[in-house]
Amino acid sequence: MKAGTRLLRETFDAATIGPGATGVVIKDTRSGNGTTEPRLAFLLADAGRLADWPATPLPDVDFSLYVEAEKGLVLQWQSRLEIERDTNDLHETIISPFVTAIHYEYYDATLKTWSVEDEPKQNDGSTAWLQPARVHLDFARGSLKSTSVIDMPIKRSGASRP
């Protein structure tokens, strides 16, 4: 649990801080079965240990994060430089087989309340997805259950950490 949570925190920071970082956002991403789903998505210039390349590693890798019952917490990825990108299968890296669910925590400034949602929320009257303040990961192994909370880093101008 701790290792998976730490890996995600570090990855989210890498996607948010520094020159060329785009941040972590909720967006509709292509799934392996030909549909699109709202997922946490981000871009890394170097996938590092998150990607097991079938050939020479490529830069500029798009990632999306989701939970699948049989696999656990999965990073789906593909380089922007792959040949025939739209027709190639997406690659997957399992972060933890013990994650059973991902939840999104939002703050409502009007009501001054926090809510934890099972699915990402859309902006009222728009197709844009709201950025969660935190992400909750539910871990389970046998009778042991735990939840880990990750604060979502905020993309700011400049290369410094807030």
List, for residues 53-88, the tens digit of each pLDDT value: 777 788 889 999 999 999 999 999 988 888 777 777
For residue 158, is it within any domain?
Answer: no
Average pLDDT across the chain, whole number:
88
pTM of the model: 0.87
**Is residue 140 situated within a structural domain?**
yes
pLDDT tops 90 at residue 140: yes
Sign of the C-alpha dihedral, residues 70, 56, 62, 11? positive
Residue 125 included in any domain = yes
Cα(61)–Cα(45) distance, integer angstroms: 6
Q: Does any domain span residue 43?
A: yes
Determine, yes or no, domain membership for 121: yes
- Residue 20 token pair: 């060329």
Residue range 2-14, pLDDT digits in tens: 898 999 999 999 8
Task: Give the pLDDT confidence score for residue 158 in this predicted structure.
Answer: 59
- Residue 162 resides in a domain: no
Report the number of distinct structural domains present in the chain.
1
CA–CA dist 94, 75 (Å, integer): 6
Look at residue 90 and tell me whether its pLDDT is greater than 80.
yes
Q: For 7, phi and psi rounded to 5 degrees?
A: -60, -45
Q: What is the domain extent for residue 93?
A: 2-48+58-151
In a domain, 159, yes or no: no
* Phi, psi for residue 133 in degrees, rounded to 5: -80, -30
